[in-house]
Structure 1
Amino acid sequence: MKRFTCQSCGQLLFFENTRCDQCHVPLGFMPESACLTALTPVAGNLFRAVDCDTGDEPRAFCTNHIYDVCNWLAPPLQGNGAFCFACQFNRVIPNLNIPGNMERWHKLEIAKHRLFYTILRLKLPVKNRRQDPQEGLAFDFLDDSPQGSLPIMTGHSNGVITIATKEADDAYRERMRVEMGEYYRTLLGHFRHEIGHYYWNVLIRDGGRLEACRAVFGDDRMDYQTALQNHYARVAPGNWREHYVSLYAMSHPWEDFAETWAHYFHIVSTLETALSYDMTIGPKVDGQAILTHKNDPYLHMPFDEIIEAWLPLTYAVNSLNRSMGLTDFYPFVLTAGVRTKLRFIHDVVRQVQQAA
């Protein structure tokens, strides 16, 4: 994530801000330029960016802005009632008649908008359900039925990503993290994992990369349900970290790819944040850091440079967390086997960017 500042007064901003805390100017996010900008009212509900390289057309907020779950601006010339780039992919939102669901939806949208920030910055292709009725991307935020039927499970199927609304409850999510023996379980992590399944379809299956992917992640043609049953029935070998970023990645090549994809998103997004705040923990030459804010992990940094920056950063932030009595910021080990898989994903992303 970039470092954002208010164009009106210079105050540091967060990605989710809708108004500057210092000068109180309204703020909106321009997805096409990844710019959080101060806004000047024009007429009615239309605004113009104070200083953002996106043209001069007045813009309206996404229609979900009225629920305080979105600060993105809709495309120009669409006026009121239009959805922004990120919200156009919503198919089902939580039932707002259920107590607590407004807050849960707010948390879900924070994670989803950060996901789309990364998709846009990486210049990845994405189609909604209108553009591709069969396998276009859509999000269903679903609640468990009160009638006691099977609980909603987070997952992906042919472009539709289901996120169980209950995952927005911190207590539930932490309980599941402990029960499942996971090191890390967050809403943003769910979004990044499930979008990995979508991009396996788009970039691997339909992108002519199946055999290359199988050579790295294994044969995805093995029966999925049987593989899951076998995974939960066995005891993990002591050396599993040599090849997998998480225990769940061992269950099936699809899950291995999605878990690795999620970690690639973790890395490039967090690294951009660190570099934008001038954090240069890592190798130096003649007293000068090799890595500077000019290096863009989304578009330009070579894979080896990304890893060289990421590893010392995680050591430092893990140590900071431990100093505060918190769990590790990044409780994973990127062994040579895992880095090979991350490199494959990095190479696929760069190929897509170059072809765009």
Structure 2
Amino acid sequence: MKLFKCTHCQQLVYFENDRCEQCQYPLGFDPTQLRIVALQEHADQSFQQVGNPQQQQQTYRYCANHAEQACNWLVPAASPEEFCRACALNSTIPKLSKPEHRQRWLTLEKAKHRLVYTLLRLGLPLVSKTENPDTGLAFDFLADKPEEGGQKVMTGHDNGLITINIAEADDIEREMARKAMHEVYRTVLGHFRHEVGHYYWDRLVDNTAWLEEFRQLFGDDRQDYGEALKVHYDQGAPTDWQEHFISEYATTHPWEDWAETWAHYLHIVDTLETAHAFGLEINPGVAPASAQMSADICLDPYHLDKLDTILDLWVPLTFALNSLNRSMGLPDPYPFIINPDVRRKLDFVHRVCHQPQLSPVQPTLQ
């Protein structure tokens, strides 16, 4: 993600901030510009941008979920829509009368908004099921109801509807699930990226000219998915999975291999954009030049044509990230190996995301 600043005083701010801590101006995220803007409130509770003469006539209001401290995104004041582009994707949210539900929902919203930012940056088609019930995207955030004898909510995707068990927003619950599933990485944002990968397989790969190449790289998607899941949970991943897949779960079925690879691609471009925004340069003095562990991250990954260029920046950055974490006594934030097969799959995802009819959005630099 890019860096953001208050357009009034130029103070650096986080993506989630709705007020500048330095000048105290209200802040909001304008998804049409992909930037945080400082706001001047009017008597009718609408807002106008501060510090950008070109946008002085534009008036906004906050998304309705701002009242719940769940969103800082803006909606044009003249729009009939109550919710912003990210919150309009919600179909069901948990009962907020329960404090633990509220906190978990807020955690989910932070991750979902970061996901939507990335989708907008990539220029991917993004419509809600309210706009298009057949091809739109929607989210159900649901809680288990063991006291009512109900079944456990399963996180997953079904024809554009992504269900997330809100227990995933609890650090302890998620860590227990990670250990039970023998996973090296499990985050709330990772869940969103994985599940939305299934949605975009339906939208961008299935029944398109990409499908045959997909089957060559990932396998035949027509194999029985239920049976594949059963085999995976009964027998586990093949012993040589690291030679061909990004994760153990990716071995389950070609759909899961795609979703895991898709999520990984989003991890890479979003993290590299952050590194680019900070002007990071990796230059380990003890490494020989032939080690290819140096990187000047002076390029925007969303506008790079070749995956090789992206990975040439990514590998040194992840080595540095892991080294910094180890210095703090923390686990590696990047416990993955990108083998040649995974590299080819990532390249496929990259090309699908950058096909001519899609166009990455260039954020405003002012």
Question: What residue number does 1:314 align with?
Answer: 318
CA contact (8 A) 1:127 1:136 kept: yes
- Residues 340, 9 of structure 1: CA spacing in aligned structure 2 closer, same or farther, 3 A cutoff? same
Structure-to-structure mapping, 1:277-288, within 5 angstroms: 277-281=278-282
User: What is the CA distance between 1:94 and its match in structure 2?
Assistant: 1.1
CA distance in 1, matches of 2:356, 2:195: 19
Query: Secondary structure at 1:205's aligned position in 2?
Result: coil
Q: Deviations over 1:149-192 (max 9, x none)?
A: 21001000000000001111111000000111001111000000
Match of 2:78 in 1: 77
The aligned residue for residue 42 of structure 1 is: 42
Equivalent residue number for residue 152 of structure 1: 153
Q: What's the counterpart of residue 222 of structure 1?
A: 223
Question: Aligned partners of 2:13, 2:327: CA distance in 1, in Å?
Answer: 26
User: Secondary structure of 1:119's match?
Assistant: helix
Unaligned runs of 5+ in 1: none
Amino acid at match of 1:269: D
Structure 1: distance between partners of 2:76 and 2:166:
28
Give me the whole-angstrom Cα distance separating, in 2, the residues matched to 1:70 and 1:187: 17
CA contact under 8 A between 1:122 and 1:299: conserved in structure 2? no
Q: How many residue pairs get matched?
A: 351
Give the aligned partner of residue 102 of structure 1.
102
SS of 1:100 mapped into structure 2: helix
Alignment-derived partner of residue 124 in structure 2: 124
SS of corresponding position for 1:16: coil
**AA partner of residue 103 (structure 2):** E
2:172 aligned residue: 171
Is residue 341 of structure 2 the alignment partner of residue 337 of structure 1? yes
Contact 1:33 1:54 in 2 (8 A): no
Q: Contact conserved, 2:7 with 2:36, CA < 8 A, in 1?
A: no
Match of 2:213 in 1: 212
SS in 2 for 1:74: strand
Cα RMSD over matched residues? 2.0
Three-state SS of the structure 2 residue aligned to 1:351 is: coil
Task: Please report the TM-score for the alignment, with normalisation by the length of structure 2.
Answer: 0.91
On the 8 A contact 2:237/2:252 being kept in 1, the answer is no
Judge which range, 233-242 or 160-169, deviates more. 233-242
Corresponding position of 1:87: 87
1:136 alignment partner in structure 2: 136
CA separation in 1, counterparts of 2:338 and 2:56?
Answer: 43
Provide the residue aligned with 1:270 in structure 2: 271
Give the percent of matched residue pairs that are identical in Structure 1 and Structure 2: 50
**Which residue pairs with 1:299 in the alignment?**
303
Relative to structure 1, the CA distance from residue 264 to residue 283 in structure 2 (aligned partners, 3 Å threshold; closer, same or farther) is farther
Alpha-carbon distance in structure 1 between the residues aligned to 2:177 and 2:162: 19
* 2:78 maps to amino acid: L
With over 3 angstroms needed to count, the CA separation of the structure-2 counterparts of 1:112 and 1:240, relative to structure 1, is same
Contact 1:7 1:37 in 2 (8 A): yes
Closer, same or farther in 2 for the Cα pair 1:177/1:256, shift >3 Å? same
Matching residue's letter, 2:156: G
Does the C-alpha gap of structure 1 residues 152 and 354 become closer, same or farther in structure 2, counting only changes over 3 Å? closer
Alpha-carbon distance, 1:231 to partner: 1.1
2:336 aligned partner, one-letter code: F
Confirm or deny: 8 A CA contact 1:124 1:352 kept in the other structure.
no
1:44 alignment partner AA: D
In the superposition, the TM-score normalised over structure 1's length comes to: 0.94
The 1:128–1:147 alpha-carbon spacing in structure 2 relative to 1, beyond 3 Å, is: same
User: Is residue 60 of structure 2 the alignment partner of residue 56 of structure 1?
Assistant: no
Structure 2 counterpart of 1:118, one-letter code: T
Question: Is the 1:282–1:309 Cα contact (8 Å) retained in structure 2?
Answer: no
Larger RCO, structures 1/2 (Cα 8 Å, 6+ apart): 2
Give unpaired runs (5+ residues) of structure 2: 361-366
**Partners of 1:55 and 1:122 in 2: how far apart?**
28
Range 233-242 or range 20-29, more displaced: 233-242
- The alpha-carbon deviation at position 301 of structure 1 amounts to 4.9
Deviation at 1:89, TM superposition (A): 0.6
Q: Deviations over 1:279-308 (max 9, x none)?
A: 1226999xxx87454x22113352111000
